[in-house]
Structure 1
Amino acid sequence: MKIRLLIQILCCLVFSVMSSTAFATWYTANGTGSDRNDAVNDAIRNVMLQAGADVKIEQNYKNGVLQSDNVNIMSSSPIKKLVVMSEQTTFSKVTVTIKAFIDERFAKARCSGAAVHKAVLPVSFRFADSQAYQGSIGIEGISKELDKLVMENLYNTSSFVTRPLVRANLNTSNSPNMSNDFQVSNLSSLADRYGSQYIILGTINSVSTSEVGNNVLTKLMYVPTRTINFDIDVYDAINEQIIFHRNYTAEADWPFKQSEYIDLRSDRFKSSEYGQRVYSLAADVSKDLVSELQCKPANAKIIDLDGDDVVINVGRENGISPNMKFTLVQAASMSGPNGDNYSAYEKSNSVYKVVSVYPHAAKLHPVDLQNNTLNVNVNDVVTLQ
């Protein structure tokens, strides 16, 4: 009896380990920081984004130990094993490469919206005005560098399907000479052209330096500082509105000469306090966007009709799979008291099921033909149940 009981226990343990392993995957990511702990924590954030993990999960690395909420990791932690594969120190910057074994059962966000990878379209950073551009002396390429940093982080985030960067001269200011209709039409057309629901807009407000005065002694004692201040806005093309706005700002010592041209890709810049702040803010953008969009309702536009079936503009690349169910939301054009046109959406009782999945589209069939809405049109919307 004891032998039989022991065999049963061993079988249960083996099955438990195999089940856990079946849901776990190795991920690799890089990280940078002022010391080893900061670099590994940066890599952990990157690997969690890469895995499409719930960004509310906080795990920290300190002196070789993974921690969660200031206590050692418990069994429900998504990271089961962490290996620092390489480490390099350049100037005052540490760069590491880690390999993490993540149990996706605990990592994934627990919301239906996270099942569909949102299609996002980044638009190149622009300067808010001529004064903002004039303040960029020495780092005139900062807009392209922010494009690169934010794009790299978005590409490594499995929660999104990130379209290639678009260099479009979009005037999205609140200028009295530009109507809201024009801005909405401009952004919505761009979203349709590139098959995206969300457009990410970046605006640089200031990268100016602060002088320490004309006193010779003061100049010898103090180092000038430089600001980095930019806004990120996210436009939802289906709901035709800005759904996210956040300002990112920092100030750090600027040890370079006023008239000196700085190579923003050089280790000299990257290892400076200012360079580190730029990299840190760019990483914050990705984390904030995942937090904002990860659990948003998964919507798609109807792009074609095939008898009773409809074809939508999301597919395999977005994580769509057969038998997923969507509810029809019908669009209507409305006019406001000032003559402004806007779209309104009304939820129906019609439910559709995915029957065919293509790389960038999917075909849906009504679940109940008897109670199905008849006047379905292109540009109507479906929402994941």
Structure 2
Amino acid sequence: MKNWMWVIMVVLINSVAHGQEITATGSAVLVEDLEVSRDNAVRDALRQASLQMGGSIHSSQMLVDGLVTSDQTSLKTNGQFRHVRILQEKISHGILEIKLRAEFIQEGQCAMNEGNGYRKAVAVAGFALQSPKQAVLGGLQNIEQHLPSVLANTLNGHHRLHAMDSGNVLMFNSVDRAPSSQNNLQRLSNSVELAKELGAQFVVSGVIRDLDMINPDAGVPQIWDKPLNLIGLSREKRMRNFVLDVYVHDGISGALMFQNTYATAGEWEYDDYAKTGFATPIFWKSNYGEHVKDVISTVVDDLNSNLGCQPYMAKIIDAKGDFIRLDTGGSVGMRPGDELTVFRTSTFYNLDQQGLTQLHDTKVKATITQVQPRFAIARLDKTASRFAIQREDVVVAW
């Protein structure tokens, strides 16, 4: 995936309680498309980092009549990398060399401590229809707003995420270019605005790619229907597609954190004139509705596992003296006495002069003193002005 390394959160940390930082260098041959070379160099650096952390390379060959018909090499690790940051890029003699730093998390660590215990605030935006005409059958035009509502309600039934329904907001001007319609770093600037408005750490959005019938003529009566029934055979079932792209953007930087495509198909049991609507009782009772419900459950599971282990972050609304007001509250599980770390935000630029959000650890601790439903107040162990802590900086809990 092009520019995939920017999908990972661009957070710089000096020490982490639940992971180990590692620095590695990778290289790739410089080709015409710089992003391709950069992707390959980052992959090589992460491969080197994996080997440093005990990973192993496995290779296998299949021979038929003395000829190699299959040659596969794979890398296995006992954990995963997150918070990858590019430290240095250098081009020399046609080779792009990248030095990066990443945090290595062993498998199972987050499952044990559930990240940090806070519910991450998630804004669920509208899901645009790629082909609105496909929604006419069954009267499913309400799916753009009702799917986010169903998704948000289902997410709130779990303990890791606090979802807010924003189905009336569509994130993409052109669904054909989603999720990177704003720039080639797959950042979405309007996701930052929506996150700021709702106090969300992440923004979930997506595109409904396909609602079309697989075999639209299957329900048309045929002269051979009766003979087939006599021998125990029935007419072909009318099957309908459901293909959904889901994206998650970071509310602070707008970076793409997660994306996946989900596809299923189910029997559409209604005629061409029935108007069930999306997410109605009659819709859920159908075979097609059951398959859609299974997809939504899978999406919820993926969002919980991918976002639940992320560091908790909240923006600073204002700072005065030793106190700061945070864009968070009791709904995420914040309680008086909780301690978080203050990070200062800044922007750095890559080789293409594109700005990326970076966080700097100030080592300043913020202790929650008051919690309201929509905001919280924290006392700093050092004066805010001394470290230039201000609006738009963030607090982090690992």
Same fold, judged at TM 0.5 (above): yes
2:322–2:382 contact (8 Å) kept in structure 1 = no
The answer for the alignment partner of 1:164 in structure 2 is 165
- Residue of 126, 142, 157 corresponding to 1:124: 126
CA distance in 1, matches of 2:145, 2:170: 14
One-letter code aligned to 2:207: T
> How many residues are aligned here?
274
- Aligned-pair CA distance for 1:162: 2.2
Unpaired runs of at least 5, structure 1: 1-107
Residues 1:196 and 2:200 aligned together: yes
- Aligned-pair CA distance for 1:326: 1.3
Match of 2:370, SS state, is: strand
- Flag the 1:177–1:248 CA change in 2: closer, same or farther, 3 A: closer
- Flag the 1:354–1:222 CA change in 2: closer, same or farther, 3 A: same
- Aligned-pair CA distance for 1:166: 3.8
1:112–1:297 contact (8 Å) kept in structure 2 = no
1:117–1:161 contact (8 Å) kept in structure 2 = yes
CA distance in 2, matches of 1:333, 1:157: 34
- Encode CA deviations 1:331-369: one digit per residue, 9 max, x unaligned: 112334434222211223222222232222222223356
The answer for the alignment partner of 1:207 in structure 2 is 211
CA RMSD of aligned residues (A): 3.1
2:121–2:162 contact (8 Å) kept in structure 1 = yes
The answer for the alignment partner of 1:317 in structure 2 is 331
- Flag the 1:316–1:177 CA change in 2: closer, same or farther, 3 A: closer
Match of 1:123, SS state, is: strand
2:151–2:300 contact (8 Å) kept in structure 1 = yes
- Flag the 1:368–1:189 CA change in 2: closer, same or farther, 3 A: closer
Match of 1:147, SS state, is: helix
Match of 1:332, SS state, is: strand
One-letter code aligned to 1:111: N
Match of 1:256, SS state, is: coil
- Encode CA deviations 1:253-299: one digit per residue, 9 max, x unaligned: 22322454334455543222111111221222222212222221111
One-letter code aligned to 2:196: D
Q: Scaled by the length of structure 2, what TM-score is found?
A: 0.61
- Flag the 1:267–1:179 CA change in 2: closer, same or farther, 3 A: closer
CA distance in 1, matches of 2:387, 2:296: 47
- Aligned-pair CA distance for 1:178: 4.6
1:114–1:159 contact (8 Å) kept in structure 2 = no
Match of 1:163, SS state, is: strand
- Aligned-pair CA distance for 1:377: 2.0
- Encode CA deviations 1:79-106: one digit per residue, 9 max, x unaligned: xxxxxxxxxxxxxxxxxxxxxxxxxxxx
Tell me whether 163-172 or 283-292 shows the greater mean CA deviation: 163-172
One-letter code aligned to 1:352: A
The answer for the alignment partner of 1:304 in structure 2 is 318
2:149–2:165 contact (8 Å) kept in structure 1 = no
CA distance in 1, matches of 2:307, 2:183: 27
CA distance in 2, matches of 1:372, 1:266: 54
Q: Scaled by the length of structure 1, what TM-score is found?
A: 0.63
Match of 1:187, SS state, is: helix
- Aligned-pair CA distance for 1:330: 1.3
2:250–2:256 contact (8 Å) kept in structure 1 = yes
The answer for the alignment partner of 2:387 in structure 1 is 374
- Flag the 1:313–1:375 CA change in 2: closer, same or farther, 3 A: same
Unpaired runs of at least 5, structure 2: 1-109, 226-233
The answer for the alignment partner of 1:291 in structure 2 is 305
- Encode CA deviations 1:52-76: one digit per residue, 9 max, x unaligned: xxxxxxxxxxxxxxxxxxxxxxxxx
CA distance in 2, matches of 1:325, 1:265: 41
- Aligned-pair CA distance for 1:305: 0.6
One-letter code aligned to 1:164: D
CA distance in 2, matches of 1:144, 1:372: 44
1:349–1:372 contact (8 Å) kept in structure 2 = no
- Residue of 108, 113, 116 corresponding to 2:115: 113
Following superposition of structure 1 onto structure 2, how do residues 15-34 of structure 1 map, counting pairs within 5 Å? none
CA distance in 1, matches of 2:348, 2:134: 44
The answer for the alignment partner of 1:225 in structure 2 is 239
